[in-house]
Amino acid sequence: MTEKLRFHLRPEGEKAFGYAQAVKAANFVHISGTLSVDDAFQPLHTSDMAGQIGAVYDSIGRTLEHFGLGMADVVKETIFVTDMAAFLEANGRRIEAYGGALPAATAVEVKRLAFPECLIEVEVVAADRGESI
């Protein structure tokens, strides 16, 4: 059986919703869909795609740091947005977050996310090239 390690960025809210922010299995860290919310799960930067992108990738970065990883270790991302045109216009914020080490990616437009004020949700998989936990 593969050893797993779970991480909660916002423990109370994540446990209430029934998920972990991230799970490490073997040499991969799977990070759950990440929204632009604060520690109390209140939406941040409502109606501001660029602001939400920044908040989402900041949270992903904090989660990766817990495992000793960074954005360059992300190998796959899936991006869900409620407005593709707004996302494409603000996509530079996403590209900056990766610092040139872009992963394989898929972006899809959806009708709604968990919180109606949220415009973007991103899930990623990162590869830990070091020792397995």
Which alpha helices (H) appear in 29-83, and where do they start and end?
Answer: 49-66
Residue 97 three-state SS? helix
**Helices and strands (H and E) in the chain: how many:** 3, 6
Residue 92 has a pLDDT of 96
Say yes or no to pLDDT of 133 above 70. no
Residue 1 has a pLDDT of 45
- The arithmetic mean of pLDDT across residues 45-66, rounded, is 97
Percent of the chain with pLDDT over 90: 91
Say yes or no to pLDDT of 51 above 80. yes
Residue 4 has a pLDDT of 75
Say yes or no to pLDDT of 2 above 90. no
Q: What pLDDT digit, counting tens, does each position of 75-127 carry? A: 999 999 999 999 999 999 999 999 989 999 999 999 999 999 999 999 999 99
**Average per-residue pLDDT for the chain:** 94
Which two structure tokens, joined as six digits, stand for 106? 């898929």
- Residue 69 corresponds to which amino acid? L
> Backbone phi, then psi, for 14, in 5-degree steps?
-65, -45
Full-prediction pTM beyond 0.85? Answer: yes
Distances (CA, A) of 125 to 9, 19, 22, 120, 129: 16, 16, 9, 17, 13
Q: What pLDDT digit, counting tens, does each position of 14-36 carry? A: 999 999 999 999 999 999 999 99
Helix (H) or strand (E) holding 96: helix 84-98
How many angstroms separate the CA atoms of 110 and 84, rounded?
9
Count of C-beta atoms within a 10 Å radius of residue 51: 16
- Its CATH architecture, for the domain 4-127, is 2-Layer Sandwich (3.30)
